[in-house]
C-alpha cells in the first residue's frame, strides 16, 4: 500500500505542528527572571545555550528533511514507513525537551529571592572546590540548584545526558534542608569531588590498586579490601571534601547520616556508599591524617557514643573490626596514589593542605572575627572551612553561622556578577 495523499497530509500537519513547538523553545536569557547577582557564570550560560541551540538546529533540520521527503512524488513510500520516520522524530523532539527541562529545573530557582544569589555563591564555591594546587585539568562550568530530598547529587560535565549528548556543565543539586547553614559546604564539596575524580580519571587506577590489595589478603581482611574497592567512588569524594574543608566535612557528613540506628549499621554490599557508621569513622580518620589535631579523636569518640556497637551480631562485628584494621593502610594508599593526570604528584599533595590546618583556620577566625567582609578575601572553601572549625571549637553559634554563611554567599554572588560586568566589552552606541 502506497502513501495516500490523505495520510501524507496528516503527517505533514503533525510534523509542521512539531516544528512550531521547536520554534517556541526560547533561549534562557529571554525567559528566566533573576537578578544579575543570581545568574550563572557566562561560561556556564554560554555552554548551556550553545548545547541547546545545536540540539534544536539539528532537530529542525531533520524535521525539514522529513517534510521534504513527504512532499516528494517520485518515491513509493508506505504509510507504515512514513509513520515510523515520524515516530523517531517525535522521540528526538522529546529528547530535546528533556535536555531543556534538565537545565530549566536548575535555573528556575534562580528567580527566588535570596536563594538565587546564594546559589551564585555556591557556583563559585564549587568551582573553588575543583581548583587544585596546579592546573591538572580544565575546570568545567558549574551550576548549582535547590531541590527536595535528603542528599546532594551531581550530573557531571561531559557525561551522557538522557537520550544522548554530552552534558556541557556540571550540575549540582543541593537539598533545601541544607540551605543555608551547617553542612551546606560538606554536601557541595563532596559532589564537586565526584567531578574532580572524573577529571583526574582517578577511579580506574585506584580500583586496580585496591584489587591487588584484595588478592594479597585473606579472610575478613580480603572482604574489607573488596568493600573499599566497591565504595571507592563515594570515599574519593569524601576525601576531597575533608581535604578542602577540614572538620566541616566530617561535621556535615555526620549531619546527613545521623539516622535511626538500624540504618546506620545497615550493610548493603550492592550499595556504592559505605554504611553510615564506618563512613563517619573513615572521614574522621582521613581528617586525622590530612589535618592532624586532637579534635578528630573527640569526633570519633562522639560517634561511638551516639552509635555504640554493642548488641550487633557477630558477623557484623567481625566485618567492622576488619574494616577498622585496614583503615590506616587504606587511607595511606588513597593519599599516596599517583594518577597519571597529576603528573607524578600524589593525591594528598594535590590539595593546599597547609592552609586547612586547624591551627591556621583558628588563626583566620581570630583575625576575621567571623565577619563576612574579612572572609570574602579568602577562597570560598577556605572561608567555609574557617567557619566549620569555629563551630567545632564552639566559638560560633548555629544562629550566627547561618547569618554569616548567607551573607558570605550573597557577597560572593554579587562580586561574581560585578566582575563579570567589568570584564564585559563596552557597549558602542552609534552616533546620531
Q: Which three cell numbers stand for residue 429?
A: 552606541
CA 240 to chain centre: 12
Q: Evaluate the CA torsion angle 357, 353, 368, 387 in order and state its sign.
A: negative
Q: Please provide residue 204's backbone torsions phi and psi, each rounded to the nearest 5 degrees.
A: -55, -45
Ramachandran region, residue 224 (left: φ > 0; alpha: ψ -120 to 50; beta: rest): alpha
Between CA 80 and CA 86 the distance in angstroms is: 10
Grid cell digits, residue 412: 560572593
Rounded to an integer, what distance in angstroms lies between the CA atom of residue 269 and that of residue 157? Answer: 28
Q: How far apart are alpha carbons 346 and 334 in whole angstroms?
A: 9
State residue 430's pLDDT score. Answer: 41
CB 338 within 8 A of CB 373: no
How far separated are the first and last CA of the chain, in Å rounded?
66
Is residue 87 classed exposed, middle or buried when 0-12, 13-18 and 19+ CB atoms within 10 A define those classes?
Answer: exposed
**Which 3-state string (H, E, C) describes 115-176?**
HHHHHHHHHHHHHHHCCCCCCCCCCCCEEEEEECCCCCEEECCCCECCCCCECCCEEEEEEH
Domains of the chain, residue spans:
5-107, 201-237+254-333, 357-419
Q: Which three cell numbers stand for residue 234?
A: 563515594
DSSP state of 246: T
Distance CA 339, CA 207 (A): 11
Q: Cβ neighbours of residue 238 under 8 Å, at least 6 residues apart?
A: 190, 193, 249, 253, 279, 282, 283, 286
Q: How would you write the pLDDT of the chain (432 residues) with one tens digit per residue?
A: 567 788 888 999 999 998 898 888 888 877 777 788 888 998 999 999 999 999 999 999 999 999 998 888 656 678 888 899 999 999 999 999 999 999 998 898 888 888 889 999 999 999 999 999 889 999 999 999 988 777 789 999 999 999 999 999 999 999 887 777 768 999 999 999 999 999 999 999 999 999 999 999 999 999 999 999 999 999 999 999 999 999 999 999 999 999 999 999 999 998 999 999 999 999 999 999 999 999 999 999 999 999 999 999 999 999 999 999 999 999 999 999 999 999 999 999 999 999 999 999 999 999 999 999 999 999 999 999 999 999 999 999 999 999 999 999 999 998 988 886 555 444 443 433
Name the nearest CA neighbour of 172 among 138, 203, 200, 149.
149
Residue 42 · residue 48 · CB < 8 Å: no
**Count of helix runs (H) and strand runs (E) in the chain:** 18, 3
Q: Are 45 and 119 in contact (CB under 8 A)?
A: no
List of residues 6+ apart from 347 with CB closer than 8 A: 202, 239, 334, 335, 336, 337, 338, 339
Amino acid at each position: 500500500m502506497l502513501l495516500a495523499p490523505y495520510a501524507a497530509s496528516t503527517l505533514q500537519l503533525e510534523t509542521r505542528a512539531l516544528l512550531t513547538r521547536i520554534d517556541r523553545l526560547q533561549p534562557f536569557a529571554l525567559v528566566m527572571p533573576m537578578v544579575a547577582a543570581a545568574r550563572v557564570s557566562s561560561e556556564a550560560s554560554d555552554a548551556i545555550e550553545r548545547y541547546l541551540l545545536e540540539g534544536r538546529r539539528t532537530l529542525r533540520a531533520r524535521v525539514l528533511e522529513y517534510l521534504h521527503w513527504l512532499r516528494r512524488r517520485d518515491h513509493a513510500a508506505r504509510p507504515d514507513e512514513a509513520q515510523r520516520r515520524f515516530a523517531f522524530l517525535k522521540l528526538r523532539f522529546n529528547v530535546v525537551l528533556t535536555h531543556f527541562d534538565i537545565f530549566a529545573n536548575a535555573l528556575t530557582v534562580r528567580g527566588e529571592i535570596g536563594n538565587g544569589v546564594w546559589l551564585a555563591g555556591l557556583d563559585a564555591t564549587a568551582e573553588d572546590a575543583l581548583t587544585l594546587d596546579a592546573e591538572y585539568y580544565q575546570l568545567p562550568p558549574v551550576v548549582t540548584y535547590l531541590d527536595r530530598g535528603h542528599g546532594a547529587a551531581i550530573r557531571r560535565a561531559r557525561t551522557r545526558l538522557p537520550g544522548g549528548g554530552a552534558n556541557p556543565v556540571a550540575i549540582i543539586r543541593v537539598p533545601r534542608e541544607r540551605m543555608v547553614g551547617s553542612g551546606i559546604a560538606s554536601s557541595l564539596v563532596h559532589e564537586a569531588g565526584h567531578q574532580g575524580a572524573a577529571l583526574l580519571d582517578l577511579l580506574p587506577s585506584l580500583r586496580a590498586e585496591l584489587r591487588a590489595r584484595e588478592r594479597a589478603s585473606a579472610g575478613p581482611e580480603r572482604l574489607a579490601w573488596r568493600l573499599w574497592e566497591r565504595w571507592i567512588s563515594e570515599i574519593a569524594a569524601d576525601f576531597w571534601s575533608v581535604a578542602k574543608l577540614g572538620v566541616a566535612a566530617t561535621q556535615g557528613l555526620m549531619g546527613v547520616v545521623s539516622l535511626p540506628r538500624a540504618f546506620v549499621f545497615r550493610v548493603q554490599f550492592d550499595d556504592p556508599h559505605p554504611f553510615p557508621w564506618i563512613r563517619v569513622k573513615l572521614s574522621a580518620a582521613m581528617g586525622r591524617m590530612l589535618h592532624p589535631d586532637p579534635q578528630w579523636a573527640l569526633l570519633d569518640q562522639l560517634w561511638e557514643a551516639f552509635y555504640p556497637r554493642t548488641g550487633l551480631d557477630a558477623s557484623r562485628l567481625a566485618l567492622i573490626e576488619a574494616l577498622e584494621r585496614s583503615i590506616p593502610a587504606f587511607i595511606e594508599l588513597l593519599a599516596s596514589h599517583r594518577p597519571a593526570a597529576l603528573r607524578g604528584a600524589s593525591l594528598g599533595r594535590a590539595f593546599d593542605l597547609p592552609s586547612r590546618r586547624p591551627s591556621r583556620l583558628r588563626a583566620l577566625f581570630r583575625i576575621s572575627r567571623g565577619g563576612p567582609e574579612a572572609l570574602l578575601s579568602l577562597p570560598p572553601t577556605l572561608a567555609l572551612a574557617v567557619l566549620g572549625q569555629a563551630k567545632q571549637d564552639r566559638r560560633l553559634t548555629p544562629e550566627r553561622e547561618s547569618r554569616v554563611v548567607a551573607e558570605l554567599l550573597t557577597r560572593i554572588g554579587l562580586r561574581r556578577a560585578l566582575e563579570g560586568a567589568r570584564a564585559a566589552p563596552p557597549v558602542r552606541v552609534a552616533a546620531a
